[in-house]
Amino acid sequence: SSDLTQDPAVSVALGQTVRITCQGDSLRSYYATWYQQKPGRAPLLVIYDKNNRPSGIPDRFSGSNSGNTASLTITGAQAEDEADYYCNCRDNNGNHWLFGGGTKLTVL
């Protein structure tokens, strides 16, 4: 399959740690990139490559990869982290780009 699968919704208590996962065959060959999207806004790249953050992204965001699964971890979730999170990478052939269905993160 060339799909990327994410849990539709996840919740976390304020200040706690949450992991958002993304599964897909193509993740065995390509690194996932993660985006945060808040309502009415364009997606924002938060993690790329093995575990790199663009300038300005807090270090509570981290990424990891194992087999066909990529994970985005938020250590010490803040209220402003409540958003939709999407994973993205190439398909199995490396020719086209896929997005996961997105995970809605609620910070309680």
Partner 1 sequence: QVQLQESGPGLVKPSETLSLSCIVSGGSISSDYWSWIRQPPGNGLEWIGYISYSGRTNYHPSLKSRVTISADTSKNQFSLKLNSVTAADTAVYYCARLTIVGATSGFDYWGQGTLVTVSS
DSSP 93: T
Binding site for partner 1 (CB under 8 A): 29-31, 33, 35, 42-45, 48-49, 54, 86, 88-90, 95-102
The answer to whether the CB of 70 falls within 8 A of the CB of 63 is yes
Q: Smallest distance, Å, CB 20 to partner 1?
A: 14
Q: Smallest distance, Å, CB 85 to partner 1?
A: 11
Q: Smallest distance, Å, CB 95 to partner 1?
A: 7
